Amino acid sequence: MSQTLNASTLLAVPLAPLVGSALAGIFGTQFGGNWIGRRLTHTLTILGVLVAFILSASTLKSVAIDGARFNETLYTWMTVGGLKMEVGFMVDGLTAMMMCVVTFVSLMVHLYTIGYMEEDEGYNRFFAYISLFTFSMLMLVMSNNMLQLFFGWEAVGLVSYLLIGFWFNKPTAIFANMKAFLVNRVGDFGFILGIGLIAAFAGTLNYTEAFAKAGDLAALTLPGTSWMLVTVICICLFIGAMGKSAQFPLHVWLPDSMEGPTPISALIHAATMVTAGIFMVARMSPLFELSETALNFIMTIGAITALFMGFLGIIQNDIKRVVAYSTLSQLGYMTVALGASAYSVAVFHLMTHAFFKALLFLGAGSVIMGMHHNQDIRYMGGVRKYMPITWITSLLGSLALIGTPFFSGFYSKDSIIEAVAESHLPAAGFAHFAVLAGVFVTAFYSFRMYFLVFHGKERYDQNPDAHHGHHDDHHDDHGHDDHGPHESPWVVTVPLILLAIPSVVIGYMTIDPMLFGEFFKDAIFVDGDKHHVMHELADAFHGPVAMALHAVTTAPFWLALAGVVVSWYMYLINPAVPAALGRALRPLVVILENKYFMDWFNENVLARGARALGNGLWKVGDRTLIDGLLVNGSWKLVGMVSAWTRKLQSGYLYHYALVMILGIFLLMTYFVWLNK
């Protein structure tokens, strides 16, 4: 039986982290006089996120079991003409799932931060930021209108700027957060154009009302063009998702976001900000279903991101950057699923990915702590015997990432590959190749990192930059001695264990209700007559066990296995092979090391071009034309005319008489001779 959720309870979900953030940010920093210490700061913020998680879990239970729903306006901010700007919540299966994922991962990150940021001077400020981040993300996923969605969208962008540049004395961090901020503004410009078009032609910002008018929007064209209005709206909205969810070519900010502390990497990459774009497209599915052009565009962009960002992961030596490029690649997989109209599969992968990617990032952070802040995987090896909990949890996360049968990543990733194979869109052929090739690439770079870190001979004493890493500049060494690797404290290992559990089992438990049940029935709309992918998947699905057993006979399994075997041979058995390949394929390696020269293009063409344009408009347009010609030129012209006319005003009567005679003569000449 359907029931309605309580508005006050739902309001407490985002407000609890906000209160914790406000208390920590005001009274735990110099801004408010440092009234509260570290222990009270982390207690308050963790309590706020814990309350949000408990309420989110309770909401999910009500939604999934009791069929509860909520869609109400809580506050009307203002009304402009017929356009209402409101604050409200819409809670259905999609929202409830996102609430739980966001709050659980955030809770794990909060616990982990106690150990990771132990010696950092900005401890209280850090907790304030991550709680504020949680509030922003919850406002985004719980919104029932596009204004609130945009508020949450920009709020996570703002807080990510603060978090990526947390160590604000470090030049690379300053560059990284500015890069993230600017690239996201490019995407957000497209996003707000899409929202503006919906508001202009549908006359509402409310989801339900806008979707009800989707048929009317489909019949319109963009004024002055022959373009379908709904196609333009969807592409504009997706450009916003390209920025936030780091899709090619707006992906360039995400690897650099590693300049922030490791807990941030987990928070931004795993469950929150980067998945906002995927969530938004799934939420807007009634609009996207009306435009196959937009779906083809989405699928193509996703396929490029999934494959080519995976290639970049192969040559990375920084442990966090390897995981960062895997995030880019997996976001590409989610985007491909959106393009195939398999929205539920995309958000299913979003959920499973959140757990194992948070696990991998926090595992990487644990290794960095244990290795005294060495982040270069070339100078690790044999860490398994020193850090058993980090080792086993990282292995489970890696197995989930590559799509090992029965692990959570398998069910979502395999479903995406099957969905693309069943799609009849023009872009589906390339996309299917990309996601299949991406399986091998992902397995290769994931286990390259795993073998180099946890197996083989110990190389941590060979690092030429040992104990002089950039983290030392920030007092982030936790007081460790230099006697070799060691396991992390319990505040770090407990979140790893708690994240490892869903990384293994959540896919098996939820694939049936989320993909083929009624969990998303009123949250996601698919036009079954045009896009039949989900019907095909449902016909082929015979339970999670049968799916996993069948996978052993399919290409993705063998490609993943091949990736693991090749990386094992190249990095444990015969390390001379990668060195020889690197020399033989040097031009290709240079392209990968320079990240396809995207950064070079952005900095030397776009940024320099923008600066040149700005300088031109300033020096030629503003200074020369406006100030020089119009402003200064006008008074100089007046001065010249005045100086000339002043000479005519001589004050002598005979001069005026002469002028009058000449004037009469000219008039008479005109009328008598010329005007016949």
Look at the alpha carbons of 182, 17, 207, 91 in this order and tell me if their dihedral is positive or negative. Answer: positive
Please compute the mean of the pLDDT values over residues 363-387 and round it to a whole number: 82
Tokens of 376: 């270069």
pLDDT on residue 676: 60
CA 417/CA 436 separation, integer angstroms: 7
Beta carbons of 525 and 285 less than 8 angstroms apart: yes
Beta carbons of 424 and 339 less than 8 angstroms apart: no
Check whether 470 has a pLDDT greater than 80: no
> What is the tally of helices (H) and strands (E) in the chain?
29, 2
Count the neighbouring beta carbons within 10 Å of the beta carbon of residue 469: 18
pLDDT on residue 474: 43
Beta carbons of 294 and 363 less than 8 angstroms apart: no
Letter for the amino acid at 25? G
Burial zone of 91 (CB within 10 Å; 0-12 exposed, 13-18 middle, 19+ buried): buried
Check whether 467 has a pLDDT greater than 70: no
Tokens of 501: 């559990």
CA 74/CA 376 separation, integer angstroms: 50
Tokens of 450: 């795993």
Check whether 59 has a pLDDT greater than 70: yes
Please compute the mean of the pLDDT values over residues 436-455 and round it to a whole number: 90
- Give the pLDDT confidence of 313-348 residue by residue, as tens digits: 888 888 888 888 888 899 999 999 999 988 999 999
Letter for the amino acid at 51? V
Burial zone of 294 (CB within 10 Å; 0-12 exposed, 13-18 middle, 19+ buried): buried
Please compute the mean of the pLDDT values over residues 607-634 and round it to a whole number: 84
CA 418/CA 412 separation, integer angstroms: 10
- Give the pLDDT confidence of 530-576 residue by residue, as tens digits: 878 888 888 888 888 888 888 888 888 999 999 999 999 988 888 88
CA 151/CA 207 separation, integer angstroms: 15
N-term to C-term CA, the chain: 99
Q: How far is CA 388 from the centre of its chain?
A: 32
Tokens of 623: 């200074």
Q: Categorize the per-residue pLDDT at 675 as very low, low, confident or very high, splitting at 50, 70 and 90.
A: low
Beta carbons of 439 and 558 less than 8 angstroms apart: no
Q: Categorize the per-residue pLDDT at 126 as very low, low, confident or very high, splitting at 50, 70 and 90.
A: confident
Please compute the mean of the pLDDT values over residues 623-648 and round it to a whole number: 82
Beta carbons of 221 and 229 less than 8 angstroms apart: yes
Check whether 299 has a pLDDT greater than 90: yes
Dump the DSSP string for 45-112.
HHHHHHHHHHHHHHHHHHHHHS--BEEEEEEEEEEETTEEEEEEEEESHHHHHHHHHHHHHHHHHHHH
**Mean pLDDT value across the chain:** 85
Distances (CA, A) of 337 to 304, 367, 404, 417, 432: 13, 33, 19, 8, 11
Q: How far is CA 519 from the centre of its chain?
A: 25
Letter for the amino acid at 54? I
Tokens of 128: 């304030």
CA 629/CA 623 separation, integer angstroms: 9
pLDDT on residue 77: 86
Between 526 and 231, name the one with better pLDDT: 231
CA 478/CA 389 separation, integer angstroms: 19
Between 489 and 95, name the one with better pLDDT: 95
Q: Categorize the per-residue pLDDT at 274 as very low, low, confident or very high, splitting at 50, 70 and 90.
A: confident
Check whether 469 has a pLDDT greater than 60: no
The proportion of the chain whose per-residue pLDDT surpasses 70, expressed as a percent, equals 95
pLDDT on residue 100: 92
Q: Categorize the per-residue pLDDT at 32 as very low, low, confident or very high, splitting at 50, 70 and 90.
A: low
CA 499/CA 397 separation, integer angstroms: 9
pLDDT on residue 378: 83
- Return the half-sphere exposure (C-beta side, CA atoms, 13 A cut-off) of residue 586: 3
- The owner of tokens 């110990």 is 458
pLDDT on residue 476: 42
Please compute the mean of the pLDDT values over residues 359-385 and round it to a whole number: 83
Count the neighbouring beta carbons within 10 Å of the beta carbon of residue 345: 32
Please compute the mean of the pLDDT values over residues 499-526 and round it to a whole number: 87
Distances (CA, A) of 581 to 238, 317, 500: 38, 16, 35
Beta carbons of 280 and 187 less than 8 angstroms apart: no
Backbone angles phi, psi at 76, to 5 degrees: -95, 115
- The owner of tokens 């079954």 is 528
CA 391/CA 493 separation, integer angstroms: 11
CA 609/CA 437 separation, integer angstroms: 36
Please compute the mean of the pLDDT values over residues 13-21 and round it to a whole number: 92
pLDDT on residue 192: 93
Strand bridging mode 83-91 / 70-80: antiparallel
CA 551/CA 529 separation, integer angstroms: 29
Check whether 472 has a pLDDT greater than 70: no
pLDDT on residue 483: 57
* 495-500-502-503 Cα dihedral, nearest 10 degrees: 130
**Cα angle: 98, vertex 100, 103; to 5 degrees:** 105
Specify the 3-state DSSP secondary structure of 667.
Answer: helix
Contacts of 117 (CB under 8 A, 6+ apart): 123, 126, 261, 263, 476
- Give the pLDDT confidence of 136-148 residue by residue, as tens digits: 999 999 998 999 9
